[in-house]
Amino acid sequence: MSCVKVYTELHLIAAQEGLLKNLNFPVNETSFSPAKTRRHIHRKDVIFTISKIAYGGVVFFLAHDKEDMDVKNELLSGLTSTPKYIPGWYRYDKEGSRLNDLCLQENENYYFHRCEMNILKANLKSMCSSDVKNSILVDMGSGNCEKTRLFIDHLLLNQEKLDFYPIDISQEFLLDTCRKLSAEYAGRLDIFPIAADYETGINKLSTCSQTKVILWFGSIQSLEAADQIRKLQMLKKTMTRDCQLIFSVDITQNRESVMKAYSDFHARQLYMNSIWRLIRDENCDVDPDNFEMEVDFIKNNSADTMSFVQVLIRAKQANSFTLLWVSPWR
Ligand SMILES: C[S@@+](CC[C@H](N)C(=O)[O-])C[C@H]1O[C@@H](n2cnc3c(N)ncnc32)[C@H](O)[C@@H]1O
């Protein structure tokens, strides 16, 4: 029997109605009450249980994965679009990752991280089945691995050694985190960092035939709705019947809580890092003082789509700036 488990705490539920519906999960059965702290839903044919797929060998390692993604072209395409945008992942360089950590510690309105930690601490044993042995651990957007450590400790109760595949676009920060983990779990954790965007990381996973416990915390909602579905469907293809995917989403509909969380000084610093990084990495002569941040909560009750937080970095007045690597004839 296939099984999707849904864990809730307060207004946080580890499943999102629109998302589950798009994954063919019967949404009318997920009308859980936030008052209940936990609820299990058993269904056949749920997306996360898939028949076995044949794989080749394991081909991984930190190489120069970031080059797989053409950062400059992605930036150019965003900055020449209407309206202009900077891809969300761009704010996560080493400085962005540091600002993200600071935000988790200092932003007392950021309920999501705290709820995730509470849910994980209270439910870890039932989330991560204890009969999983010799599995590998994958972490999508691993960050500082605070939540991941809970799973590493848990899995190491049942196996002598663990192979760990953190996937994160923030290369330097990823490597620093891996060094710390390596020292902490000396001899028991083999780490294969994948410094890449999610899709490159998932494609690399597809060559790996071991049973996987895949984590995705704190970040799936940073992707557009269609992109969330796309990446979950890609992950599905890497999974066999014994694999587990454990991810969290925020279905808060309380405008006031959301606005407080994302308007906080530290959250703003993290978003502004996109502009600061343009200056640092791309030699761009943009003036950060010419921009102000606007946060809005776009509520959407339709089961097909989702509510989301919109963050705009709006120019106070018309201005132009130069990206030195862009040909003037382009
Ligand atoms: C909000 S943090 C979450 C970190 C951690 N999972 C947690 O729960 O605390 C998002 C993480 O995802 C990474 N990230 C963001 N966009 C990404 C992308 N497109 N591909 C890979 N990693 C990405 C960031 O570098 C960052 O470490």
Dump the DSSP string for 132-200. --S-EEEEET-TT-HHHHHHHHHHTTT-S-EEEEEE-S-HHHHHHHHHHHHHHTTTTEEE--B-S-HHH
Ligand 1 atom 12: residue of nearest CA? 141
Burial class (CB in 10 A: 0-12, 13-18, 19+), 45: exposed
The answer to whether the CB of 231 is under 6 A from ligand 1 is no
The answer to whether the CB of 197 is under 6 A from ligand 1 is yes
DSSP secondary structure code for residue 14 in this structure: S
Asked if residues 217 and 70 have their Cβ atoms less than 8 Å apart, the reply is no
By most ligand atoms within 8 Å of CB, the mutation choice from 70, 219, 270, 274 for ligand 1 is 219
DSSP bridge pairs for 308: 298
- Phi/psi of residue 162, each to 5°? -135, 135
The answer to whether the CB of 93 is under 6 A from ligand 1 is no
Counting as low any pLDDT under 70, the low residues of the chain are: 1-69, 130-132, 303-304, 324-330
Cα separation of 164 and 186, whole Å?
Answer: 13
Asked if residues 277 and 284 have their Cβ atoms less than 8 Å apart, the reply is no
Query: Could you tell me how far CA 42 lies from the centroid of its own chain?
Result: 25
- Phi/psi of residue 128, each to 5°? -110, 105
Per-residue burial over 177-194, b if 16 or more Cβ lie within 10 Å, else e, is: bbeebeeebeeebebbbb
Gap from CA of 319 to ligand 1 centroid (Å): 31
Residues 46-55 have pLDDT tens digits of 222 221 221 1
Gap from CA of 139 to ligand 1 centroid (Å): 10
Q: State the pLDDT at residue 218.
A: 92
The answer to whether the CB of 228 is under 6 A from ligand 1 is no
CA 52 vs CA 25, 55, 211: distances in Å: 21, 9, 10
- The percent helix, strand, coil of the chain (3-state, each to 5) is 40, 15, 45
The answer to whether the CB of 276 is under 6 A from ligand 1 is no
Q: State the pLDDT at residue 321.
A: 79
Q: How many CB atoms lie within 10 A of CB 237?
A: 12
First to last CA, the chain: 56
The answer to whether the CB of 165 is under 6 A from ligand 1 is no
The answer to whether the CB of 100 is under 6 A from ligand 1 is yes
Cα separation of 69 and 71, whole Å?
Answer: 6
Gap from CA of 186 to ligand 1 centroid (Å): 25
The answer to whether the CB of 219 is under 6 A from ligand 1 is yes
Q: State the pLDDT at residue 17.
A: 46
pTM: predicted TM-score of the whole model, two decimal places: 0.83
Asked if residues 4 and 41 have their Cβ atoms less than 8 Å apart, the reply is yes
Q: State the pLDDT at residue 139.
A: 98
Ligand 1 atom 5: residue of nearest CA? 143
